[in-house]
Structure 1
Amino acid sequence: MKEEKELTSPSTSPNLDEEKKSNWQSFWELARFAIIAIAIVIPIRIFIAQPFIVSGSSMDPTFEDGQYLIIDEISYRLDDPERDDVVVFRYPNDTQKFFIKRIIGLPNETVDIKNNVITITNKNHPNGLKLDQSYIENNTNSNTHFELKDGEYFVMGDNRSASSDSRYWGAVPKKLLIGKVFLRLLPINKIDILPGDYKQVE
């Protein structure tokens, strides 16, 4: 006599039910992790920091073409920009474009450039303050006189002879400033916090 074996329907198999339950739990854990990650990353990306890839040579040698930067977007909501900050902003003549430059002149100051010498006139320096440009390697002989209004900034590229900046198209309103450069991530051998940071004692 042949031994009869009891068969269990796949739909009612305890092992299969456990496997389905385990798969569902794994899927839910993954989905929950993704939701949490998105909830954290998106606000940071929009309100705190965002990436920026340098395009062009206007900031050579401080920042070179293709370098990957992280921009601090929150500092200027708490404090005013300072002279020599390296900033990313929307180009005033085409706000779809983003530029990176260094702040030279602050609101309500007068900027005079003559024979490569930059002189700032303000309340603290009515007779003029000559800026130290020791970080500049490639200067150009340009003459400029510019009077800044409230909320306006005069910006220039470190590679003066290859930079389209406030000398040619005017001031940058504060509302167009995205933020200042906080971190250089790429290339790996040039990772740096506050790259290009320079402050002249006034």
Structure 2
Amino acid sequence: MVTEEAESGQQNIKEKKENEGESEKSLVREVVETIIHALILAFALRTFVIQAFYIPSGSMENTLLPGDMILVNKFIYYFTDIKRGDIIVFKYPNDPSKDYIKRVVGLPGDSLEIKNGDVYVNDKLYEEKYTKEKAADDMIMHAHIEKDPAGAVTSVAAQGKIKVPAGKLFVMGDNRNNSQDSRFWGFLSQSSLKGKALVIYWPLSRIGFIR
């Protein structure tokens, strides 16, 4: 014979198990939702704000070394202007599937010239403490092919002054004698920018802001 107390005890055990089951389901649901939100946030950050890049070559030595891993701010130029000295990541003009990293030397409207390996911007010596060495020659723009907006093809080479057109940048690697940059493939369209290099985060011995 089952007493009322026994029935009550069995009911309590059943309710406890049901509550525990609901708690477990709720916990799993919260974990899944947290993971999904984290993935969405990570995707949004990578797409719109911050992206990691690996440095494969020595074209930016000694500022950036082969093997460095850096974070790039992809949002910053929506709020601030590009400045001379900024280190930027951009789509390589001759192959947009590749990303390049260089330093901005010339802004739209600037006149540029290389004399005795030194860069002159608007007729003034441009102080550059970060370069590995001076340029080996004074050719500001080596022979290369460019297309104008109408599609006309021209061959460009310049020793002496050049002027940076509107909407363009002139970029160079800090390792002046081991860098494929604007001297070889011309001006960079600002529309090709992906962001500004901010910090080195790997290896641990090189963690720090990029300047």
User: Can you list the C-alpha shifts for 1:124-151, whole angstroms capped at 9, x where unaligned?
Assistant: xxxx111112322233322224321101
Q: What letter corresponds to residue 186 of structure 1 in structure 2? A: W
CA shift for structure 1 position 35: 2.4
Distance in 2 between residues matched to 1:49 and 1:141, nearest whole Å:
36
Q: CA deviation at 1:13?
A: 5.0
Tell me the residue number matched to 1:171.
187
State how many pairs are aligned: 181
Unaligned runs of 5+ in 1: 1-5, 7-11, 122-127, 198-202
Alignment of 1:111-190 (within 5 A): 111-121=112-122, 128-142=123-137, 143-144=139-140, 145=158, 146-190=162-206
Query: Aligned partners of 2:205, 2:120: CA distance in 1, in Å?
Result: 36
Alignment-derived partner of residue 148 in structure 2: none
Give the % identical residues. 30
Cα distance in 2, alignment partners of residues 22 and 80 from structure 1? 52
In the other structure, the counterpart of 1:96 is: 97
Deviation at 1:16? 4.6
Q: Pairwise CA RMSD of aligned residues?
A: 2.1
SS of residue in 2 equivalent to 1:30: helix
- TM-superposed deviation, 1:55: 1.1
* Aligned partner letter, 1:181: A
Distance in 1 of aligned mates of 2:169 and 2:22: 61
Alpha-carbon shift at residue 154 of structure 1 (Å): 0.4
2-structure distance, mates of 1:39, 1:137: 41
User: What SS is found at the alignment partner of 2:98?
Assistant: strand
SS at match of 1:161: coil
**Partner of 1:72 in structure 2?**
73
Give the TM-score taking structure 1 as reference length: 0.82
After superposition, give the CA deviation of every residue in 1:87-141 in whole Å (9 maximum; x if it has no partner): 11110111110011100011121211132021112xxxxxx11111232223332
Runs of 4+ with deviation above 4 angstroms: 12-16
In 2, the alpha carbon distance for the partners of 1:137 and 1:54 equals 17
CA–CA distance in structure 2, aligned partners of residues 135 and 40 of structure 1:
35
CA contact (8 A) 2:112 2:163 kept: yes
2:119·2:125 contact (CA, 8 Å) conserved in 1?
yes
- The normalised TM-score by structure 2 is 0.79
Partner of 1:30: 31
Whether the aligned pair in 2 keeps the contact of 1:138 and 1:159 (CA below 8 Å) is yes
Between the aligned partners of 1:120 and 1:102, the Cα distance in structure 2 is: 14
Code of the aligned partner of 2:75? I
What is the rounded CA distance, in whole Å, between the counterparts of 2:165 and 2:127 in structure 1? 23
Runs of 5+ unmatched residues, structure 2: 1-5, 7-12, 141-157
Aligned counterparts of 1:17 and 1:136: Cα–Cα separation in 2: 69
> Amino acid of the residue matched to residue 119 of structure 1?
Y
The residue that corresponds to 2:18 in the other structure is 17
